[in-house]
Amino acid sequence: MEKEILLSSAYLAPVEYYTKLYAYDKVYVERFDHYAKQTYRNRCVIASAAGPLALTIPTEKSDEQKCLMKDVRISDHGNWRHVHWNAFVAGYKHSPFFDYYADEFQEFYKRRYTFLYDFNADLCQWICRQLDMQPCIVPTDDFCVSPEGVEDFRERIHPKKPFEANDPQFVPKPYYQVFDAQTGFLPNLSIIDLLFNMGPEGLLVLKESFYNEE
């Protein structure tokens, strides 16, 4: 029987999110949920010398009180592309694989996307290619309140909800991090942390971070 899961859109989603892309036969990514701030939809968390650092994409205010995720527009406010790129350089210039991926990755911060969903989706596809993953990702066609036969993780992978309590299948396997001597191992950072530090071997970390009770 196929294992299927429903996820929210996410900006450089955390490692936990990518263990689902690895482990499930089909992954639905929600386009028709009401956009919520302070979630991974427009936020990622990377490593810095001072510890975890959250990077947030500003979004345009909508005329609608509740805006669908597929309609959320990226704002140019605060020169965020420059800020995010500088944070990646500061955090990962000494990581083993930063130079290998940097040029391609930087292109995402030179191009001006209109919609947040499209930006997130293109980044996700690029990351999957670098990790040699071929997940079956299907954008949703409408909103389903309680999907039958599909695990619903739309609100379970969330920066304010501890994965330890919310997701027993996710058991993060430690890997090398640039600042681990200062900060110790920081679990469940953005997938970009895993990619820059471990390169293609990041796939093995994802595999070993997914606990299958079967």
Digit-coded pLDDT (tens) for 15-30: 999 999 999 999 999 9
Provide the whole-model pTM: 0.96
99-103 mean pLDDT: 98
What b/e sequence results for 155-171 when a residue is b if at least 16 CB atoms lie within 10 Å of its CB, and e otherwise? Answer: eebbeeeebeeebeebe
Residue 149, pLDDT above cutoff 90: no
pLDDT over 90 percentage in the chain: 90
Asked whether the beta carbons of 127 and 195 are under 8 A apart, the reply is yes
Give the pLDDT band (50/70/90) at residue 213.
Answer: low
What is the pLDDT, as a whole number, of residue 102? 98
CA atoms within 13 Å, Cβ hemisphere of 114: 2
If you count DSSP H runs as helices and E runs as strands, how many of each does the chain have, helices first? Answer: 8, 6
